[in-house]
Amino acid sequence: MCALTCLNPIAIALNLLLLVIAPLSGVHHPTIHDIITTQDIIAGDVFFEITEPAVLEYTYRLRPAKDFGVSFVSQRFTGIGLVLTQPSDACSKIRNYRELRGNVALIKRGDCSFLTKTINAEIAGAKAAIMTEFDDDSAEFEYYIEMVHDNTSREAHIPAGFLLGKNGVIIRSTLMSLRRPHAIINIPVNLTFVPPAQINHPPWLGW
Ligand SMILES: *[C@@H]1O[C@H](CO)[C@@H](O)[C@H](O)[C@H]1NC(C)=O
Ligand SMILES: *[C@@H]1O[C@H](CO)[C@@H](O)[C@H](O)[C@H]1NC(C)=O
């Protein structure tokens, strides 16, 4: 009766132990960089890099929307603007559509669905929508939020992705303190052939 359930924790512990030992006991004594490939790190995520302003010049990870919008890999944008929307939550018509048109929207999460935000960005002429958290007191500040369709009969035709709040706060506060209307980005960047140690991730993150 108890055999299975009682053994489970032991079996799990043994499996974990084997996972740790097996790679280390190989003849090549692989380093950590051989074990963890860039593919493992990417795992369906998309990356973009900021090229200006210089203080934000890093590679950032996005978690693409699960079931709405289009794929980020369908079109690559080089030297495109990343623009903070007004209002910041993009839950109503975007007022700074002149700045946003042809660029990528940076939008605060909350107050309406991710799909509504994406559609409002699309209507304003944005090429893609990036959602993030601007509140460093938020419980979700350090987590990726899964963006799903809101089950209305609407659809977005631009890509949407979630950026870690830790990045969002720093990008927004840096742009505001430099009084810059936007950052310049390349999106997506293909890291498939970049070794993990060479990925230029923000120093304030561990990944
Ligand atoms: C949309 O519908 C699916 C399937 O019924 C459900 O699992 C999901 O929670 C709904 N999503 C929202 C945002 O209401
Ligand atoms: C990156 O390049 C590889 C190889 O050319 C390709 O298979 C992959 O789809 C590309 N990924 C992105 C995100 O463009």
The encoded tokens of residue 168 equal 């969002």
Q: What is the pLDDT of residue 53?
A: 98
For ligand 1, atom 6, the nearest C-alpha belongs to 151
The rounded average pLDDT for each run of 10 residues, N- to C-terminus, in the chain (207 residues) is 41 40 44 66 90 97 97 95 98 98 97 98 98 89 93 98 96 96 96 89 82
Q: Distance from the CA of 120 to the center of ligand 1, in angstroms?
A: 21
Q: What is the pLDDT of residue 140?
A: 80
The answer to whether 162 touches 63, Cβ cutoff 8 Å, is yes
For ligand 2, atom 11, the nearest C-alpha belongs to 190
| Alpha carbon distance 193, 200 (integer Å) | 13
For ligand 1, atom 7, the nearest C-alpha belongs to 151
Residue 42 Cα: closest atom of ligand 2: 13
The single-letter DSSP state of residue 54 is G
The encoded tokens of residue 165 equal 């709040």
| Alpha carbon distance 147, 63 (integer Å) | 8
Ligand number nearest to the C-alpha of 152: 1
The answer to whether 171 touches 70, Cβ cutoff 8 Å, is no
Q: What is the pLDDT of residue 8?
A: 46
CB of 188 within 6 A of ligand 2: the answer is: yes
Q: What is the pLDDT of residue 74?
A: 87
The answer to whether 105 touches 62, Cβ cutoff 8 Å, is no
The encoded tokens of residue 111 equal 């107050």
Among 74, 190, 191, 199, the mutation site with the greatest number of ligand 2 atoms within 8 A of its Cβ is 190
Q: Where are the alpha helices (DSSP H) in the chain?
A: 3-24, 32-35, 38-42, 97-100, 114-123, 165-177
Q: What is the pLDDT of residue 124?
A: 98
Say which residues have a Cβ less than 8 Å from residue 76's Cβ, sequence separation at least 6. Answer: 186, 187, 188
Place of tokens 């939550």: 89
Q: How many CB atoms lie within 10 A of CB 24?
A: 9
Q: For Cα atoms 79, 198, 140, give the angle at the middle one, nearest 5 degrees.
A: 75
Among 191, 192, 193, the mutation site with the greatest number of ligand 2 atoms within 8 A of its Cβ is 192
Q: What is the pLDDT of residue 38?
A: 78
User: Helix (H, G, I), strand (E, B), or coil: what is residue 69?
Assistant: coil
Q: What is the pLDDT of residue 117?
A: 98
Q: Which amino acid is at 75?
A: Q
The answer to whether 59 touches 188, Cβ cutoff 8 Å, is no
Q: What is the pLDDT of residue 31?
A: 53
